[in-house]
Amino acid sequence: MATLTSNQTAATPLLERNLAALAARNADIADALRGTTALALDWSTAADGSRAAACDGRLLASRHAPREEAASLADSVDLRDRAVVAVLGFGLGYHIAALCERLGRTGLVIVLEPDLGLLRAVLSEID
């Protein structure tokens, strides 16, 4: 398991904005995240300029073009026959954003991310 640094326990303005947005529909999860310590991630910049991260050496998104690859994944889901998409794992959230953008207000994306420390770390760095 990755180690924590002291600045990962303090809430950032970006985290607070993300938690406020989350609380509008999932106040219990936002509250749980406020009380969770962020997982230590190794942050870097992907080749396309997007944020990238790894945890214990495992990439959480592409190191080359995470947004493009997330859009490609979202495009592979046939949304004509599906009003709900379930996703196992938040990662850095690029694939979630791409799916939500494609669905707009015509469907629902449900995300299962059991690691609250990971989710807090990502929401502290990515809007």
Q: Is 4 helix (H, G, I), strand (E, B) or coil?
A: coil
pLDDT value at position 105?
Answer: 86
Q: What does the alpha-carbon distance between residue 122 and residue 109 come to, in Å, rounded to a whole number?
A: 18
pLDDT value at position 9?
Answer: 56
Please provide the average confidence, as pLDDT, over all residues in the chain: 90
pLDDT > 70 in the chain, percent: 92
Distances (CA, A) of 39 to 4, 43, 72, 75: 6, 12, 28, 30
pTM tops 0.95, yes or no: no
